[in-house]
Amino acid sequence: MYNCLNVGVCGGFENDIDNSTCVICDAPRPPMEELMAVFKVELKKKAAEEKAAAALNADSDDEEGEALHHIRLKKLRRDIRHIISHD
């Protein structure tokens, strides 16, 4: 599939790659090299977005882990004080 470049007439209608012209406005299909270049740019953009989302998710996991670590330390401190006070 490819989007027609004649956005003003047909709104960038999505055509089958086998069509040599747009079904709506009869604009010629861009050369395959141009379509592949657009596809590669979109692919790189998607990969960058996924990488950013993964990094953001990893940061939030670290923050949750830190919070859990602090809670465990507080409970351990409480338990140690309890043991010491009962000896």
Residue 19 lies in a domain: no
In this predicted structure, what is the pLDDT of residue 12?
81
Q: Give a yes or no: residue 77 inside a domain.
A: yes
pLDDT at 64: 66
**One-character DSSP codes across 9-38:** HHSS-EE-TT-SB-TTT-PBPPPHHHHHHH
If one counts the domains in the chain, the total is: 1
User: For 21-67, how does the pLDDT look when each residue is reduced to its tens digit (9 = 90+)?
Assistant: 888 888 888 888 988 898 899 999 999 888 888 877 765 556 666 77
Task: Kindly tell me if the per-residue pLDDT of 1 is higher than 80.
Answer: yes
Task: Note down the domain range covering 60.
Answer: 45-87
Q: Average pLDDT in the 6-26 region?
A: 86
User: Is residue 87 very low, low, confident or very high in pLDDT (cuts 50, 70, 90)?
Assistant: low
d(CA 53, CA 59): 10
- Residue 3, in any domain of the structure: no
